[in-house]
Amino acid sequence: MFQHIRYHQLMQHALIVEDLPESRIWLTGVLQAAFPTLQIATAARRDIALACINEHRYDLALIDLGLPDGSGVDVVAALQQHQPDAVSVVVTIYDDDAHIFPALQAGAFGYLLKEQDQGTLVSQLLRISQGEPPLSPQIARRMLSHFGMHDRQQKAQIRQALEEVKLTERETEVLQRVAKGYTLPEIALQFSLSKHTIGDYVKQVYRKLNISSRAEATLEAARRGLVQP
């Protein structure tokens, strides 16, 4: 499933595809810590990232999946098609089969979760120099479990995940706290996660529920019985 990687001894150009400004800054710091000589470009949207891929060459790309104008999987696929020697690494909050396997099938070489600290992400990215895929432990375990299943079970599991539209447990908890008036830093402290990770959860909850404000989130939380109306 992994693309063939020819590691460049000296990677020069990288692209970060992430729509949240704070997350872009954080990922830039991760890349600079792992590869200090990299020249880093950023894109906040799918269409901007695709334009960058058409106009510039990259050795490495860190790609979020939840972009405001589409899926980061499209960016992974475009990079694989136009620049097959480039290394694509997904960096996201999603750890389910419905996100993992389409990204890997599109050409992602690695899959990292944002909930990890900077030092862990740096260590994972440095594995690229040995030609090893950077994978968060949860992702590696899920892949091992997945490949141990029969094809019919695999397809059923992925189909079920794709059809599931309910909020996850963590998304539900985040919605409840947003509705109660907690700020992102306060929610992050409660879960021992970074603000950018909580921001991603809020972004995904809003997209799933088709809402755009804290007031709408409060109404939805009340409807679900998470807070008093």
pLDDT in tens, 168-210: 889 999 999 998 888 888 999 999 999 889 999 998 888 888 7
Q: Are residues 62 and 141 in the same domain?
A: yes
- Containing structural domain, residue 203: 169-223
Does the structure show a pLDDT above 90 at 158? no
Strand bridging mode 60-63 / 87-92: parallel
> Mean pLDDT across the chain, nearest whole number?
84
Give yes or no: residues 126 and 196 share one domain: no
* Reported confidence tier of residue 151, pLDDT bands at 50, 70, 90: low
- When divided into structural domains, the chain yields a total of 2
Please say which residue of 116, 147, 178 terminates a domain.
Answer: 147
Count of CB atoms within 10 A of residue 83's CB? 18
Q: Are residues 126 and 18 part of one domain?
A: yes
Q: Which of 71, 67, 1, 11 is nearest to 37 (CA)?
A: 11
Q: Does 161 fall in a domain?
A: no
Is residue 191 one of the residues assigned to a domain? Answer: yes
Residues 131 and 191 in one domain: no
Write out the two tokens for 105: 């099938």
The order of strands in the sheet holding 60-63 is 39-43, 13-17, 60-63, 87-92, 110-113
Same-domain check for residues 136 and 207: no
Kindly report, residue by residue over 46-73, the tens digit of the pLDDT. 999 999 999 999 999 999 999 999 999 9
Q: How far is it, in rounded angstroms, from Cα 101 to Cα 158?
A: 9
143 against 98, higher pLDDT = 98
Residues 136 and 180 grouped into a single domain? no
User: At 145, is the pLDDT very low, low, confident or very high (cuts 50, 70, 90)?
Assistant: low
**Chain segment 98-129, per-residue pLDDT in tens:** 899 899 889 898 999 998 888 889 989 988 88
Indicate if 36 and 104 belong to the same structural domain. yes
pLDDT of 131 above 90 = no
| Percent share of the chain, pLDDT over 70 | 85
Rounded distance, CA 141 to CA 183, Å?
33
Residue 27 and residue 91 in contact, taking contact as beta carbons nearer than 8 Å: yes
Report the range of poorest mean pLDDT among 12-16, 21-25, 159-163: 159-163
Q: Residues 207, 114: one domain? A: no
| Together in a domain, 125 and 31 | yes
154 has a pLDDT exceeding 80: no
C-alpha angle 184-94-128 in degrees, rounded to nearest 5? 110
- pLDDT score recorded for residue 60: 96
Helix (H) or strand (E) holding 39, with range, is strand 39-43
Judge whether 53 and 7 are in contact, CB under 8 Å.
no
Strand, helix or coil for residue 11: coil
Instruction: Report residue 25 as tokens.
Output: 């800054």
Is there a domain that residue 187 lies in? Answer: yes
Do 20 and 125 lie in a common domain? yes
Same domain, 89 and 199: no
For position 3, what pLDDT does the model report? Answer: 45
Cα–Cα separations (whole angstroms), residue 75 to 8, 38, 183, 215: 21, 20, 31, 33
Distance of CA 47 to the CA centre of its chain: 17
Of 62-66, 89-93, 128-132, 136-140, which gets the smallest average pLDDT? 128-132
More confident residue, 153 or 6: 153
Cα dist. 190→114, 179, 183, 195, 198 in Å?
17, 15, 11, 11, 10
From 114, 147, 180, the end of a domain falls on 147
Phi, psi values for residue 14, rounded to 5° = -130, 155
CATH number, domain containing residue 219: 1.10.10.10
In a domain, 6, yes or no: no
What's the pLDDT score for residue 153? Answer: 57
First to last CA, the chain: 48
